[in-house]
Chains A and B, each alone.
Chain A
Amino acid sequence: MAAMTREETEALIQEVLEVYPEKARKDREKHLAVNDSSLEKANKCITSNRKSLPGVMTVRGCAYAGSKGVVWGPIKDMIHISHGPVGCGQYSRAGRRNYYVGTTGVNAFGTMNFTSDFKENDIVFGGDKKLSKIMLEIEQLFPLNKGISIQSECPIGLIGDDIEAVAKKATKETGKPVVPVRCEGFRGVSQSLGHHIANDAIRDWVLENRDGDDSFPTTPYDVAVIGDYNIGGDAWASRTLLEEMGLRVVAQWSGDGTLAEMEKTPKVKLNLIHCYRSMNYIARHMEEKYSIPWIEYNFFGPTKIAESLRKIAALFDDTIKAGAERVIARYTAEYEAVIAKYKPRLEGKRVMLYIGGLRPRHVIGAYEDLGMEVVGTGYEFGHNDDYDRTIKEMGNATLLYDDVTGYEFEEFVKRVQPDLIGSGIKEKYIFQKMGVPFRQMHSWDYSGPYHGYDGFAIFARDMDMTINNPCWKNIKAPWKNQVANDEAVKAVA
């Protein structure tokens, strides 16, 4: 299908909106837009970070998911208690594939689920006593934990428990940091506020722990990787590049990260932000308090990687600048071979994305490196500043959809007919049944890493494997496939 013009795209949006009652239509209209890459600011064309409409299918998560699932969960040597009923933690357990090294249950706890398992009694009489007891149990059963975070689920805020007091008491008893996080699911409009609350909790309860302690030897090349959750090993694939160019990665936030790394982060020279949405808050705070500058970078696809490596190196001396060039040169043959192999198979294919924090804009470059084109993109929980950064990356007259509803997304796909959709598990089976190739782009569909040069090779292979899979030809029942039938008849005759 040929690219749609601006008018066609606008007409499509209007057509899709038609089925809504008037009030809903007015609201949803603001969240759907045709991209105009000449705009400086996204707020002229799209509204974001607003409450989802009741009655439509949204795929957003809650603040607890943003704090426990995204920001705190991957910190492997701390125990994160899902404080409240058992479901919130159990149904989200280990689903995000944040890889880590360590022995689970001994010195790392990433894939385990700790919960206070609230029952009616706890709701009526309060759960603070139970929480204190849990902390003691944790100390006995898992003595190598480095600290505890209390991730509040909805009921905690509703019944007014004082988890801060319990946390302070526990810290006194065990001598380890215990961090209460007020990330009850009902706060805010999506998981996004959970990220912010989690960042604030780190600021208030962790970051200052080593202020005034200079025992950690620093170098002029210390950096921290912020907002890389090591999904399928992403942070490792990124870290090797940074280290190869001569930088020292002091901390990983928070994939395969530790409490000690977070405490040491105020000593670094530069913060590198991959997922801007979930961790810009802490970077801004460190810039103000510790004068640590931060920059955003993008390690998806060779074009963006080279751009980012040079941008990072520009903030250091000539050895690092030379290091960046050396790294790019070293991997050139490797990624050129990947492009030579897959580009002919993927060239011209059109992709629609609908994902979370950084990927709706960050992966565009990787697709373009393979000759593919992103024709629609949107964020589940993006803010204005995310769309500001997106309009420049997307082609003119492409679709932008914020907090898209199940219905809208299906209709867009029917009309735009992309060759590939990249979105989440809730969308996956719907679109596969519609016969559209699909990649789950939150946790890389059980694959990865996709960051760095190593990740790009895997990314290219996965996209090829999905799009050019022979199964898509067999989606339609053979007797419904008129063209194929005619050809078969011709062949027989």
Chain B
Amino acid sequence: MPSVMLRKREDGKLIFYVAKKDLEETIESLEFDSPDKWGGEVVLGDGSKYAFEILDAPPKIPLTLQAKRL
């Protein structure tokens, strides 16, 4: 379960950053991204997949979250 730091890039894209793994990728898709449900499976720019826990509201970004590698 890597610790992932989420931030918004200048162009508005979400960036998925894992310091330990030296991984900095854009988030291409997020399973749930609505005002009442957020999280689930994410697909990164390099095609790898992770999953966040599902929250009932979009969190304030930047934020460090735990993600599971799929």
Given contact pairs A384-B24, A385-B22, A388-B24, A295 touches B63 in the complex (Cβ within 8 A): no
We find that the number of chain A residues with CB closer than 8 angstroms to chain B is 15
Q: Complex Cα distance A40/B25, Å?
A: 10
B58 within 8 A of A: no
CB pair B22–A383 under 8 Å, yes or no, is yes
CB pair A281–B19 under 8 Å, yes or no, is yes
B36 within 8 A of A: no
CB pair A41–B46 under 8 Å, yes or no, is yes
We find that the number of chain B residues with CB closer than 8 angstroms to chain A is 14
CB pair A49–B22 under 8 Å, yes or no, is yes
Output the nearest chain B residue to A384 by Cβ-Cβ distance. B22
Given contact pairs A41-B45, A41-B46, A284 touches B7 in the complex (Cβ within 8 A): yes
B52 within 8 A of A: no
What's the minimum C-beta distance from B67 to chain A, rounded to whole angstroms?
A: 15
Q: Complex Cα distance A179/B46, Å?
A: 39
List, in ascending order, chain B residues with CB within 8 A of A43's CB: 46
The main secondary structure of chain A at its interface with chain B is helix
Output the nearest chain A residue to B25 by Cβ-Cβ distance. A41
List, in ascending order, chain B residues with CB within 8 A of A284's CB: 5, 7, 17, 19, 62
Mark contacts of A30-72 with chain B using CB atoms, 8 A cut-off: 1 yes-contact digit, 0 otherwise: 0000000000110100000100000000000000000000000
A196 within 8 A of B: yes
What's the minimum C-beta distance from A242 to chain B, rounded to whole angstroms?
A: 19
CB pair A287–B24 under 8 Å, yes or no, is no
A288 within 8 A of B: yes
Output the nearest chain B residue to A200 by Cβ-Cβ distance. B19
Q: Complex Cα distance A388/B10, Å?
A: 16
CB pair A287–B7 under 8 Å, yes or no, is yes
List, in ascending order, chain B residues with CB within 8 A of A281's CB: 19
CB pair A287–B19 under 8 Å, yes or no, is no
List, in ascending order, chain A residues with CB within 8 A of B55's CB: none
Output the nearest chain B residue to A311 by Cβ-Cβ distance. B10
Q: Complex Cα distance A291/B7, Å?
A: 11
B64 within 8 A of A: yes
Q: Complex Cα distance A388/B25, Å?
A: 10
List, in ascending order, chain A residues with CB within 8 A of B24's CB: 384-385, 388
Output the nearest chain A residue to B26 by Cβ-Cβ distance. A40
CB pair B5–A288 under 8 Å, yes or no, is yes
What's the minimum C-beta distance from A284 to chain B, rounded to whole angstroms?
A: 6
Q: Complex Cα distance A49/B24, Å?
A: 14
Closest 5 CB pairs of A and B: A288-B62, A385-B24, A383-B22, A287-B62, A384-B22
Extra 19 A-B pairs, beta carbons < 8 Å, given A41-B45, A287-B62, A384-B24: A41-B25, A41-B46, A49-B22, A196-B19, A284-B5, A284-B7, A284-B17, A284-B62, A287-B7, A288-B5, A288-B7, A288-B62, A288-B64, A291-B62, A383-B22, A384-B22, A385-B22, A385-B24, A388-B24
Give me the interface of B with A, judged by CB distance under 8 Å.
5, 7, 10, 17, 19, 22-25, 45-46, 62-64
Give me the interface of A with B, judged by CB distance under 8 Å.
40-41, 43, 49, 196, 281, 284, 287-288, 291, 295, 383-385, 388
